[in-house]
């Protein structure tokens, strides 16, 4: 994956260098045993549109399983502002949810597990962003429909004051977003988005 990042950057200067110290947006305490990822990968949630936490990092490459130890369904809260993002499993067994997530290396959610209005998908990059502006991951549809491939570090807040907040997509009270659902891309933006989606597919697929 690192080689692919380098090739894309050299080919078109598309991806800018990342600031790995940019993790200040994260809540002081996070769950799911992700504190070990904060220093090195916190930038993924805070100042990033392209990259992801390492594949398998959330379950220690199979050596740990912070999700399996919990009682389902599990609600995943935004690591920056604490709003609810996903509730899983819904419409499938807990084992099926864990198996798919382990298979891909990141927690993978389906449409029924998305808490409506608290996250959006930006087109054409397919980046998933919370209503607070936190980078969550990417939508990588497959034969079963949308699959939201999410960085656990970015959806690991404890239940708190904002745990029941659901934003009205038609309301002006929702925080401003990075980008727009009605994005009209230029050729350059389309090229960049294609490269980002290519990277996302490579790094967040089997």
Tell me the angle at which helices 187-203 and 2-12 cross, rounded to the nearest 10 degrees: 170
Paired sense of beta strands 135-139 and 127-130, if any: antiparallel
Its pTM stands at: 0.77
177 class by beta-carbon count within 10 Å (0-12 exposed, 13-18 middle, 19+ buried): middle
- Reading the block at residue 200, the tokens are 């996302």
Residues 83-141 pLDDT 10s: 999 999 999 999 999 999 999 999 999 999 999 999 999 999 999 999 999 999 999 99
Residues 139-197 pLDDT 10s: 999 999 999 999 999 999 999 999 989 887 655 455 544 543 333 333 333 334 444 44
**CA 166, CA 158: separation in Å to the nearest integer?**
16
């Amino acid at each position: 994956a690192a080689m692919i990042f380098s090739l894309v950057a050299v080919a078109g200067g598309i991806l800018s260098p990342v600031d790995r110290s940019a993790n200040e947006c994260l809540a002081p305490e996070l769950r799911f045993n992700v504190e070990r990822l904060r220093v090195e990968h916190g930038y993924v949630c805070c100042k990033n549109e392209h990259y992801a936490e390492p594949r398998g990092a959330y379950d220690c490459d199979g050596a740990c399983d912070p999700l399996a130890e919990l009682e389902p369904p599990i609600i995943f809260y935004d690591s920056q502002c604490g709003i609810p993002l996903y509730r899983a499993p819904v419409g499938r067994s807990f084992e099926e949810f864990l198996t798919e997530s382990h298979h891909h290396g990141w927690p993978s959610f389906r449409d029924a597990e998305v808490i409506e209005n608290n996250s959006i998908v930006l087109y054409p990059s397919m980046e998933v962003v919370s209503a607070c502006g936190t980078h969550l991951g990417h939508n990588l549809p497959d034969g079963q429909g949308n699959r939201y491939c999410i960085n656990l570090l970015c959806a690991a807040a404890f239940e708190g004051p904002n745990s029941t907040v659901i934003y009205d997509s038609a309301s002006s009270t929702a925080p401003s977003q990075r980008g727009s659902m009605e994005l009209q891309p230029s050729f350059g933006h389309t090229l960049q988005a294609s490269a980002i989606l290519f990277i996302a597919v490579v790094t967040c697929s089997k």
